[in-house]
Amino acid sequence: MTWAFREDVNPLGMRLRPVLGSDISHWDVPDMTEPVAEAFELVERGLLGPREFRELTLVNPVRLHAGVNPRFFEGTCCEQAAAEVLATEPA
């Protein structure tokens, strides 16, 4: 996944837009914070920077879901963060 952000190795200097996929809602994950904490190990190990982690866990999912429906996150705990992404990040 770290290769998705590597403009220096991806064709045409592309920066791909991966999203965090996890088993957060599976029955065998008693603590929903654990998958995100484990994903943050990519930053702790120096494989991703904070900017890339934010893209992986917030910006790219907002682009994916709210790109077609800007109201997708209305009424959720993510509403304000998603609105800020939509207002500041290029599509």
Query: What is the percent of the chain with per-residue pLDDT over 70, rounded to a whole number?
Result: 100
State the Cα–Cα distance between residues 91 and 81, nearest whole angstrom.
15
Average pLDDT, the chain: 91
Position 47 scores a pLDDT of 94
DSSP string, 23-80: -TTSTT-S-TTHHHHHHHHHHHTTSS-HHHHHIIIIIHHHHHHHTT-TTTTTTSTTHH
Residue 82 has pLDDT above 80, yes or no: yes
Position 41 scores a pLDDT of 95
pTM of the complete model: 0.85
Confidence label for 56 from pLDDT (cuts 50, 70 and 90) = very high
Give every CB contact of residue 47 below 8 A, 6+ residues apart in sequence: 2
Residue 89 has pLDDT above 90, yes or no: no
